[in-house]
Amino acid sequence: MVVMSKPAMEHHCAATTLFPEIPLIDLSKPDSKNLIVKACEEFGFFKLINHGVPTEFITRLESEAIKFFSLPLSEKEKAGPVDPFGYGNKKIGSNGDVGWVEYILLTTSNEANYQKFSAIFGEAAEKFRYAINQSQTKTLHILYLFDFRCVFCSFAVNDYVSAVKKMAYEILEMLADGLKIQPRNVFSKLLMDEESDSAFRLNHYPPCPELNQETNGMNLIGFGEHTDPQIISVLRSNNISGLQISLKDGNWISIPPDQNSFFINVGDSLQVMTNGRFNSVRHRVMANGSKSRLSMIYFGGPPLSEKIAPLPSLMKGEDSLYKEFTWYEYKKSAYKSRLADNRLGVFEKIVAS
C-alpha cells in the first residue's frame, strides 16, 4: 500500500475537485460520434450510457467476482503470481509499485489462459480446456477455487466480455466516422484481429477501516496514477467512488460512481495513432476506508506485431510527434517502467530548436 506524506495529502486535498461534469455520451443519439471525438480530445475519457450491454451480464459477473475475492487468501494465491496473467495482491507490476488492491488478470486468448492454469491445477485444467472447447467461443473464462478444487464459472465472463468487445468496436468505428477517416474499421480491426493482444482485469479494493480512522481515507492509494498502454479501455465498477482522472492542467478530479454506466479511457496507442490529437488519460484509484470497490476493465490491444504510428489520413502536412514502433516494443518498454512514468517519452520525436 502507498500512504502519502502530510504535504502530499494537503496537495491532494487542494487539487482534487469532487464530482465534476465529465463528458456524457448517449450511444443512441445521432450526434454521439462528434461528442466522442470532442471528449477524447479534451479529456481522453467519457461516461457512456445506453451502451447495450445487458444488465444481467454485468450483475452476474460481479456476483461471481465477489465470490472469488471472498475466498481465503491462501486459495486465491493458487491462481498466482501474475506471470504475466493470474492473481495478484498489492504488488502491481515488477518495479516496486504497490497499492491497496487485489486483482485477477487474464488474456482473451484461451490457449494462453490454459497454459497458465494447467501448471497450477493439472487435471482440473483439462476440464477447463474441455469447457472452453464446448463453449465454441474465443473469449475467456475465470477459474475459481472452492474446497481446493478448480471450478470454472458458468459463462459469466464470456457473456460480459463478448458484449463489451462489441461495444468497444462500435465506439472505435464511431471515432473513425467522427474523424472522417476511412476505412471506418481502421481502429476496431486491431481489436477484432485473432492475434489481438487484449486483456481483461478484475480489481478488488477491500475496505481498510484502520487507515480510514487515521487519515479520513484521503490518502490511501488503491492503484497509482498511470496511463493505459493499449488503444482503449472499457471500465465498469460497482457503486463505490475512488476513480480519479488528471486534467490537462494537472489537477485531479473525482469521478462519481455509476454502476449502470461504462467509462472509456483513451490509451497511449490511440494517442499515437491520432498524433496526439486524442489524450491518453492519466488516472488512479483511491481506496475506500469502509467500503469494498470492484471494477472490471477490458483493455483493447492490437496484435504484438502491429506497427503503431500516426495515421497518414490525420496528419494533413503535420510532422509525426512519435517514432514508429510495434505494439510488442511498446508493451515491453511500458512494463519495464514504473506506473507513473511517461511511457511514451522514449518514443517521442525530439524537435531540434
Known catalytic residue at 293: yes
SS3 label, residue 50 = coil
Helices (H), the chain: 6-15, 32-42, 55-69, 73-76, 110-121, 123-135, 156-179, 188-192, 209-215, 268-273, 312-315, 327-334
Asked if the peptide bond before residue 256 counts as cis, ω within 30 degrees of 0, the response is no
Give the list of residues 6+ apart from residue 342 with CB closer than 8 angstroms, or none. Answer: none
What's the angle, vertex CA 243, arms to CA 42 and CA 12, rounded to 5? 85
Q: Which of 60, 293, 338, 343 is catalytic?
A: 293
| Gap between the Cα atoms of 114 and 125, Å rounded | 7
| Gap between the Cα atoms of 32 and 25, Å rounded | 6
Cell 466480455 belongs to residue: 161
Strands (E), 301-350: 307-308, 325-326
| Gap between the Cα atoms of 71 and 66, Å rounded | 9
DSSP designation for 167: H
Q: Which helix (H) or strand (E) holds 265?
A: strand 262-266
Give the list of residues 6+ apart from residue 152 with CB closer than 8 angstroms, or none. Answer: 127, 128, 131, 141, 142, 143, 144
Q: Active-site residues: which are they?
A: 293
